[in-house]
Every structure is written in structure tokens, then in C-alpha cells.
Amino acid sequence: MRDLYARFGGGLATIFLSLVLIWLAAMVLAPNLMMIDYALRPNLPPAQIGTKADAWSLDNFLYLANEGVHRAIFFKTIWASALVAAVTLVVCYPIAFWMAQRATPGQLSVALMLVIIPFFINEVLRTLAWFILLAYRGPLNAALQGIGLIDAPIRWQGDGGVLAGMVYAYILFMLLPIYNAIESLDRSQLEAARDLGSPTWRTHWRVVIPHAKAGIATGCVFTFMLAAGSYVAPALLGSPGSRWFTEIIYNWFFEGGDWNRGAAYALTLLVLCLAVVLVTLRIARVNLTDVAK
Amino acid sequence: MTADRIFRGLFVLYLLAFVAYLFAPLLIMGIAAFNESRFPTVIPWQGTTLDWFSAMWADAAMWKALLTSAIVAVLVVVVALPVGTAAALVLTTLHSRARSMAYAVMVSPLLTPGVVIGISTLILWRQVGVGGGIALIVVAQTTFIICYVMLMVMARLQRFDRTQEEAALGLGASRVMVFRRVLLPFLRPALLASGGLAILQSVENYNTTLFVRGFETPLTVFIATKVRTGLTPAVNALALVIIAATIIGAIAYEIARRRQVTARPRP
């Protein structure tokens, strides 16, 4: 603090500090505290607010725990998000390795451009693209029927569609951290492993993956979090049978009209996401400072 | 040796499949904008037309959505750039222990699901009687866009040589002058880049905006609603225009960046 004033002088330092404090207090802390308060109170008509009935309780959370359908959707969202992260990892790892260790500088700059271009494009538009591709009478079904792989069109909308759309949407968040991590691996280590007779898979398992652990953890954490908090992909690519937890939250706010219960649901999602992030980073021994780059 | 060659061949196939995975959906979406069919698709091809572009152009609701998104994006940049820069300066000046604590709080919006940011903002401001609308969209979006600005400015600050500041002070410049004439010019590329990123993040945001939009319809909400209520290739035409604009913008940014790198620093 003293350093800040010493460096910028009283006026500027005060401006900087107050801007940051307003941001943290009014936009980061206060909304979350208010959300916790909301989540703990019952949903009451205006006349009863402030009366005895308006007391803190865990009722909204217990409702989620006891409501079978919502609970099932909650757990499904968790494991489906983990699945999205796992699939994205499997899809991206070979590409990241190739870009970091095998590609020539020319190939690398083309590859980087190719993976980055789709991600400059709006998530809603990317999801729309998948919506069109996967439509019942759409191009994918027509192509598969054309080459004789399937006899009748498949209804892709649902779990499969959501998975495809989400993996697509979050590729870059997985690819870049892993690429960065593998890039710093000294190629002579790979050569040493090969000269000592290690088969390719073991070189990856014992040399590359441990080295890239931080990048892999970062990619997985971000993908999981983005998937669990996503609304577009399940709303556009899902079916009634593949509802996402965020859709339930949305319904409490704008259809069920019970903001308190919605807040409790949102808080549950937040706590879960933070827990997954922190535990994964702890397991992979990654510092939070290295994550956000 | 042959096993190696097979492996290599398989990998090339995988690379091609990956590129197809990345671009096929976008290509199909773009091409469908030229098909006469009422539902956007490429099969069957019912004739080539530009009608969907004029339909899109004539859609007043689309223009209103675009205007809403533009207003929001400008306001987000106006708020996020100063605050993000201030956060980066405060953070880099802090001492190590306070720093990692402050850092965790300051990047926490990036680790918060977008829907939760929208919800908590909505709840807080209802207490003081402010409902969803442009103001709340700006507040909710800047909450996390500030983090991006902060990170980009911090990355640039790491390469800043503090002796420049001391030299300017030694030559009699005031602290405000040093900030304006030494530090800000040095940060300019990072500020431009994060301004661009902030606009992009703001315009493309859906998860957070959805909860705080009130009766406003920004572009992403407009498109998502169209998909559910009556998708015609006019939406594809809009998508194609947006994609073209973003790619041109990205290329222009890249060219500008390369020039910046190759250009010699001004004396």
C-alpha cells in the first residue's frame, strides 16, 4: 500500500485504490453476499418480508436435496461436464503435442491461426452452427445416410448434441494451456527416452504428461467450469430429456418466480465449481497464479 | 519403420479430421445463408439466393439488437479499461503476501460461472430498486471483463523497466506526469488489445447477459431467441456477416500487432 503511494503519489494512488475497491466491494463481494442471503431466506409475499417468517434457514437447499428430478439433473450436469472435459482433453492432447514438439514454425503459425479463428466467433453462433449441422433432416444425417452408415435419420439433439457442441466450444481453453506446457519440454528428453528404448506411449505417460500436468489441469478446470455453467449449448442442442442445471436455475428466476430458491441453486453450482477448481489445482499442485494467463 | 509410417499417416488423418471438425459447422452455416430453403440447411439445395441477406437487412428488431449490443460494449470498455488498469497497477505494486491473496480475489470472477455472475448482480441491484436493463448488463459484464483487462495489462507491466520512471522523476517530472508520459504510452498496446478483447467478450456474452437483460434484447439473445422461435436463413446471413467482421477484425489486429513488434520504439 505504501509502495503504491510512493510510486504514484497521493492523487493517482487514491484513484487507483478506490476504483479497485469499488469493483471488488460492489461488483464482486456484495452480489455474492446478497446471493447467499437470498438463498437462506424463504420466498415470501412482500407483506411478510421482515416478519418472523423471514428468517434464515436451509430450506431452499434441502428442497434441492429432496427434489428427485432436480437432484438428478444436478449430478448429471456434474458428470456430463467432467465428461466434456475428458473428451476435450483426449481430442486436444495429440494436437497440442504435435503443435508444441513436431510442427515446423510455418505449420505452427498456420495451426495456431486455424484453432483461434473459430473462437473469435460468438458462442451462440457456434452453437447455432451445430444446431443446423445436427438437425433431424440436416447435413450430418443426410451425409451418413448417403454413404450408407445409417438407414434412418438419427435424432442428435439431446445428450450427444450437447456433448459435441460443448467440446467444440471449449477446445481452445484446453488446447492452449496444454500447448504452452508441452512447448517448454526440452526435446532432448523425448530423444533420451526413445534412445533408452521407451515405447511412444510410455514416453508420453512418464515424460510428457507429468511435464504438462499444470497445463492439463488448467485446461480441464476451465473446460469443466465453462461446461457446468453453460446455458446456450443445452438450451439449443439439448432435448427435454437432457436438461442442464443452469436451465433449472433460469426457470426458478423467470418462470417459477422463486428467486430465493434460484439463488440457492446458483450458490450450489458456484460452490461446486469452486471446489472442483481448487481440488483439481491442489491435486495437480498448480498455483492459482499460473492458471489465469 | 512401416509401423512408424502408418502411425504418421493416421496422425495426418486425425489432423485433417480435426480441421474439418473445426470448420465444417461454420462452413455449412455460412453456405446455408444462400439456400432458398426456409429452414437453414444445405441439403436439399433449393436454389441460390441473396434474399436472406436483404431479409436480414430489413429486420428492424435485428438493428435494435445490434444497437443495444453496441451501446453495452462501448460502456463496458469505458468502465473496464480504467478499473482493469488500476487493478493491474495496484497488484504489481503490492508486496508478495498481500499480493497472492488479492490476486485470488481479483481473478475469482473468471472462476465463477457466467450465470452466477448474472444472478448475483440481478439480486443485489433489485435491493436498491434497479431492474434488468442496459445498466445492469454493463455492470454484470464488466465484473469479469475487468479481470481480462487486468491480466493483459499485468503481462505488459512485467516487461516495464521501473528505472524509466525514476529517471523521469529525477529530471523533475511530477508523478502524474510520469504516469501520463511514461507508463501510459508504454501500456498503450496492452490497452488497445484489451479494449478489443473487452468489446468481443461483451458482444458475444450470453450466459451472464441472459439474467440481467430485463426487457432488452442484445444480439446474442436475439439470435438465440430466433433459433427457438423461428429460424430462417436470415439468421445465417447475419451470422455470416458477423463472422466476416470478426475475422477481418482479428486479421487487422494481428497485422497491427506485428507492426508494433517490428517497429522500432520511439525515442
Give the confidence band of A81 by pLDDT, cuts at 50, 70, 90: very high
Whole-angstrom Cα distance, residue A75 to residue A288? 26
- Are the beta carbons of A168 and B25 separated by less than 8 Å? yes
Give the confidence band of A80 by pLDDT, cuts at 50, 70, 90: very high
Whole-angstrom Cα distance, residue B124 to residue B113? 17
Q: Which residues contact B81 (CB under 8 A, 6 or more apart)?
A: B149, B191, B194, B195, B198
CATH number of A67-291: 1.10.3720.10
- Are the beta carbons of A263 and B119 separated by less than 8 Å? yes
Domain extent, residue B131, equals: 33-262
Do the Cβ atoms of A227 and A166 come closer than 8 Å?
yes
Q: What is the pLDDT of residues A114-137, one digit of tens each?
A: 888 887 788 888 999 999 888 888
Residue B155 C-alpha cell reads as 503481462
Chain B within 8 Å of A21 (Cβ-Cβ)?
A: no
| Residue-level length of chain B | 267
HEC string of A250-293 equals HHHHHCCCCHHHHHHHHHHHHHHHHHHHHHHHHHCCCCHHHHCC
* A chain contacts of residue B179, beta-carbon cutoff 8 Å: 8, 12
Question: Can you tell me whether residue A103 is helix, strand or coil?
Answer: coil
User: How many CA atoms are closer than 13 Å to the CA of A108, on its beta-carbon side?
Assistant: 14
- Are the beta carbons of B123 and A35 separated by less than 8 Å? yes
If phi > 0 it is left, if psi is from -120 to 50 it is alpha, else beta; for residue A290 that is alpha
Q: Across residues A240-269, what is the average pLDDT? A: 90
Identity of the residue in B21, B83, B220 whose CB atom sits nearest the CB atom of A19: B83
Eight-state DSSP code of residue A155: -
- Comparing A17-21, A166-170, B97-101, B202-206, the range with the smallest average pLDDT is B97-101
- Comparing A27-41, A77-91, B39-53, B101-115, the range with the smallest average pLDDT is B39-53
Identity of the residue in A15, A171, A262 whose CB atom sits nearest the CB atom of B119: A262
Q: Across residues A1-10, what is the average pLDDT? A: 81
Domain count, chain B: 1
In a domain, B23, yes or no: no
Do the Cβ atoms of B117 and B109 come closer than 8 Å?
yes
Q: Which of A44-58, A270-284, B73-87 has the highest mean pLDDT?
A: B73-87
* A chain contacts of residue B109, beta-carbon cutoff 8 Å: 28
Burial environment of residue A51 by CB neighbours within 10 A (0 to 12, 13 to 18, 19 or more): exposed
* A chain contacts of residue B114, beta-carbon cutoff 8 Å: 229, 231
Q: Is the pTM of this model over 0.95?
A: no
Surface of B (16-55) touching A: CB under 8 A = 18-19, 21-26, 28-29, 32, 39-43
How much of chain A exceeds pLDDT 90, in percent? 37
Give the confidence band of A290 by pLDDT, cuts at 50, 70, 90: low
Question: Can you tell me whether residue A49 is helix, strand or coil?
Answer: coil
DSSP states of chain B as a string?
A: -HHHHHHHHHHHHHHHHHHHHHHHHHHHHHHHTTB-SSS--SSS---B-SHHHHHHHT-HHHHHHHHHHHHHHHHHHHHHHHHHHHHHHHHHHS-HHHHHHHHHHHHHHHHS-HHHHHHHHHHHHHHTT--SSHHHHHHHHHHHHHHHHHHHHHHHHTT--THHHHHHHHTT--HHHHIIIIIHHHHHHHHHHHHHHHHHHHHH--HHHHHH-TT---HHHHHHHHHHH---HHHHHHHHHHHHHHHHHHHHHHHHHHHHHHSPPP-
Q: Which of A2-6, A276-280, B260-264 has the highest mean pLDDT?
A: A276-280
- Are the beta carbons of B239 and A128 separated by less than 8 Å? yes
**Which residue's entry shows cell 508420453?**
A204
Give the per-residue pLDDT at A45: 79
* Dihedral (Cα; A232, A238, A242, A247), 10-degree rounding: 30
**Residue B35: strand pairing partners:** B48
Chain B within 8 Å of A123 (Cβ-Cβ)?
A: yes
Distance (Å) of CA A162 to CA A26, A113, A240, A244: 35, 26, 12, 10
**Which residue's entry shows cell 436451465?**
A247
Q: What is the pLDDT of residues A200-209, one digit of tens each?
A: 888 899 889 9
Whole-angstrom Cα distance, residue A253 to residue A270? 16
Please give the mean pLDDT across all residues of chain A.
88
Surface of A (66-95) touching B: CB under 8 A = 91, 94-95
Chain B within 8 Å of A249 (Cβ-Cβ)?
A: yes
Give the per-residue pLDDT at B267: 42
Chain A within 8 Å of B198 (Cβ-Cβ)?
A: no
In a domain, B12, yes or no: no
**Which residue's entry shows cell 460443448?**
A166
Do the Cβ atoms of B237 and B52 come closer than 8 Å?
yes
**Which residue's entry shows cell 453453460?**
A230
Q: Residue A32 above 70 pLDDT?
A: yes
How much of chain A exceeds pLDDT 70, in percent? 98
Q: Which amino acid is at B10?
A: L
Which residues, given as ranges, of chain B have pLDDT below 50? 264, 266-267
Q: Which amino acid is at B179?
A: F
Q: Across residues A92-101, what is the average pLDDT? A: 93
CATH code: domain of residue B64: 1.10.3720.10
Whole-angstrom Cα distance, residue A235 to residue A6? 52
Give the per-residue pLDDT at B266: 47
**Which residue's entry shows cell 457442441?**
A165
Give the per-residue pLDDT at B69: 95
* B chain contacts of residue A91, beta-carbon cutoff 8 Å: 18
Give the per-residue pLDDT at A291: 58
